[in-house]
Amino acid sequence: MRSVPSRSSLLMAPALVWLTALMVVPCALVLALAFFRRGIYGGIDYTFTLENFGLVFDPLYAGIFLKSARIAGTATLIAAVIGYAAAYAISAAPRRWQPVFLFFAVLPFWSNYLIRTYAWIVLLNREGLITQLLRWLGYTGEPPSMLYTEGAVIAGLVYNYLPFVILACYAPLSRLNPELAEASRDLGASAATTFRRVILPLTVPGIAAGAVFVFVLSIGNFVTPALLGGGRFQMIGNLVYDQFLTANDWPFGAALAMALIAIMLLVLMAQALAADRASGPAMQAGGGADG
Amino acid sequence: MAERPPATRRTLWLVLSLVLAFLYIPIAVLVALSFNEGGLPTAWSGFSLKWYASLANNSAILSAALNTLIVALVSTAIATLLGTLLAIGVEMRRQYGKGLEALIFAPMIIPDIVLAIALLSFFSMLNLTMGLHTIILAHVVFNLAFVCSVVRARLKTFDWSIVEASADLGACALTTFRRVTLPVIAPAVIAGALLAFTLSVDEFIIAFFTAGAGRASTTLPMQIYAMIRFGITPEINALATIVMAVSITALTLSQRLNRGMIGQ
């Protein structure tokens, strides 16, 4: 009879071969592409160069990276605050209702991303629902231009990823031992102090995990800036898209994609490190960090 | 929780209602407009199914829907098989490296646009003619990762000693799988498959980059994207309502199976 490891390898083999052939190899290929030149007619000239990575730091493109980070960061912050509040409210609801509320909070996450984004075009366009609402309230001026702005992109990102944050924050909140909050109150702490020094430190890892995921998904987003930001609005994802489908500069597009992956890995690693460090003292004292 | 002061309780209910309103009003508006006779968001001119009827006569949308169905069914079938085997293989081992964990996790977190251009570069370097088959190859990548994670969650509480017991009693590996392991993980496998199906039906960017030239292998999300870029039309509202109804049904089903599983 076969040993467990060899049987396990046999079972894993087909999937691992698939992932290697259709994810690892193509991504390695993109990494390699980034070190070549663009050919004169848009093809690839196989001479080694570091120019593409240099170009990433060109003010024009570095600016788009910064703008993407700013938009993703703002969306993440807003989603984290609203998501935490919602998760807190759900975890305070009667126990048998909690799964129901959670289900309804997460359900929109699973409907089509394009459609959820399109819904915001319907709301925000010049003759859209918000303008109608303003008119109905007696507003007579020019319709406000809300669509095709940075604000619209941020709203779209928050809307699309909020359910995910709620889910990530709910898990630690629902596991929280209510006796801890009680003990804090019995010892004379106000509700605000209890929240700040007991509840928040114990549930921060959940917020961090959710926030990192939203940031990563937002910074590399293509659809939301393309639809809600308008034709010329660019984040990194749109820039990569353009290099491959319109500018036809694959090596530079590849370098941009690799820079995106590098940012993503940095953020994930920072979160993992912070989580490792925080799991020690924060769990015991629930204070100290905010003194 | 009931001993919270009434003011706090009222605030919490208010927060919950506002958030649910924020999540559902945009979707509800689309659904309502899809039944609006005039089709315009400016005025309600009566209930009508005419936008649904006009969808049924739109051959571009129908063929895109058929393409989507083919891609989703085939990629889900392959991903369910591979993802389930992978989950069993991983969970069978008492220990595994971080590299393996990262490889399985990567498809769920890698930006769509990066996987899309990577596959485009790869397929064009191989001089592969792109079409529905290349979309399927691509969709299996992330679908199998999601199936695997759902099945693994179920296997975390699986008692492997019953597999050994079955072997000790003389059952061959296949019989053991069919009569011991499979019945335990079946709800998770089906839940994973439904999740994969939904993801595949909804996926846009990767399909867009791996579909190749021409309209022959346009999928529904690609069609929707093109329509949205073109402008707001009442037909999109009707199409959006149908697509949402399908994904939400599949997901609710998947959720039920998962919950039934926990209840056991």
Chain A residue whose CA is closest to B33: A122
Q: What is the mean pLDDT of residues B170-198?
A: 89
Residue A262, chain B, CB below 8 Å: the answer is no
For A86, which of B19, B119, B255 is closest by C-beta distance?
A: B19
pLDDT in tens, A77-103: 999 999 999 999 999 888 889 989 998
Contact (CB, 8 A) for A244 and A257: no
Contact (CB, 8 A) for B81 and B168: no
Residue B139 has pLDDT above 60, yes or no: yes
Residue A290 has pLDDT above 50, yes or no: no
Map out the domains of chain B with their CATH numbers: 59-263 (1.10.3720.10)
Q: Which residue has the higher pLDDT, B104 or A145?
A: B104
Map out the domains of chain A with their CATH numbers: 79-279 (1.10.3720.10)
pLDDT in tens, A213-265: 899 999 999 999 999 998 788 999 999 999 999 888 999 999 999 999 999 99
Q: Which residues of B touch A162 (CB under 8 A)?
A: 19, 22-23
Q: Which two tokens stand for residue B199?
A: 């993801």
**Count of Cβ atoms closer than 10 Å to residue B170 Cβ:** 7
Residue B187 has pLDDT above 70, yes or no: yes
pLDDT in tens, A148-188: 999 999 999 999 999 999 999 998 898 888 788 888 888 88
Average pLDDT, chain A: 87
How close, in Å, is residue A12 to chain B by CA atoms?
4
What is the 8-class DSSP label of residue B254? H
Q: Which two tokens stand for residue A24?
A: 């690892």
- How much is the pLDDT for B262? 41
ipTM of predicted complex? 0.90
pLDDT in tens, A190-204: 888 888 888 888 888
Q: Which two tokens stand for residue B176?
A: 């053991």
- How much is the pLDDT for A282? 46
Residue A285 has pLDDT above 80, yes or no: no
For B244, which of A111, A221, A222 is closest by C-beta distance?
A: A111
Partner-chain contact A10 B89, CB within 8 Å: yes
Of B193, B158, B163, the closest CA to residue B264 belongs to: B158
Q: Which residue has the higher pLDDT, A205 or B21?
A: B21
Give this prediction's pTM: 0.89
- How much is the pLDDT for B1? 47
Residue A260, Cα to own-chain centre: how many angstroms? 13
